[in-house]
Amino acid sequence: MPPSPSPVLLSPGGLWRWRWHGLAILGAVVLLAWCAHAVGLRALMEQAVGRLRAAGAPLFFSGMAVLPAFGFPLMPFALAAGPAFAPALGRGGVIACSILAVALNVALSYALASTWLRPLVEKLMVRLGYRLPAPRRDRAWFFITLVRLAPGLPFWAQSYLLGLMRVRFGAYLLVSTLVPACYLTGTIILGDALMQGNKRAAFAALAALALVGTAVFFLRRRMEAKAPAVIPAAP
């Protein structure tokens, strides 16, 4: 029997499809920016930023730490953080506060899932004849990273899934903070650049986000090939 061919991570056709998808997203962003300028959306954004500044950074970043644990997306916070608070805190300060807020958020989600939510889910699964799977402890880093890179599953749902499974908290906290930090940094710079009308910085931020997305895609594909030995099978 001839040996099976080695798997190809991405065919040339698939690679071109991803390139066209990236160009389509970039075109959509440019079109959105032009429409925003045409309809005077910038003035509305300035009003919103002024209100956020009036509310204060502590309230804003506290909301960023708490609300995503209940399904609110991180993206609006990331886009608004730079324009609202970079003049006072600097971009570096805004990025640092945002990463700290994400760390607090994933810790809160883990606590809620592993203590309050897990008993309810366990009872439900026992009635259905199942039990919660547990990943191999010596491969916790791999498993947590794979979940965090998974497409489609919202960030808050990933946090609850990992909390329900009670993965190692130290590994969970570090990976769950570092992975979104890459996107947060680019998004904060992008939001601040768009608000200032700095096209060069905006396109640089978009390019950085595209590179991060490409790197995540290929890393996820490599990890998925090794996943069967790490992901626990349902009993």
Task: Please tell me whether the overall predicted TM-score, pTM, comes out greater than 0.85 for this model.
Answer: no
**Contact indicator for 187, 75 with CB cutoff of 8 Å:** yes
Q: Which of 47, 53, 181, 164 is nearest to 111 (CA)?
A: 164
pLDDT value of residue 192: 86
pLDDT value of residue 176: 95
Q: What is the SS3 assignment for 133?
A: coil
Average pLDDT, the chain: 79
Q: Is residue 51 part of a domain?
A: no
User: Looking at per-residue confidence, does 81 or 233 come out higher?
Assistant: 81
Give the domain range for residue 206: 56-228
Q: Is residue 235 part of a domain?
A: no
Among the listed ranges 30-44, 101-115, 162-176, which one has the minimum average pLDDT value?
A: 30-44
Q: Is residue 29 part of a domain?
A: no
Q: Is residue 35 part of a domain?
A: no
Looking at the predicted structure, is the pLDDT value of residue 46 above 60? yes
Residue 150 backbone dihedrals phi, psi, to 5 degrees: -65, 130
- Integer Cα distance of 172 and 147 in angstroms: 10
pLDDT value of residue 3: 45
Q: For the chain, what percent of residues have pLDDT higher than 70?
A: 73
- Integer Cα distance of 68 and 183 in angstroms: 15
Across 56-176, the runs of DSSP E, i.e. the strands, are none
Q: Is residue 79 part of a domain?
A: yes
Query: What would the mean pLDDT of 188-208 be, rounded to a whole number?
Result: 85
Q: How many distinct structural domains can be found in the chain? A: 1
Q: Is residue 161 part of a domain?
A: yes
pLDDT value of residue 52: 77
Among the listed ranges 87-91, 103-107, 134-138, which one has the minimum average pLDDT value?
A: 134-138
Q: Is residue 116 part of a domain?
A: yes
Q: Is residue 160 part of a domain?
A: yes
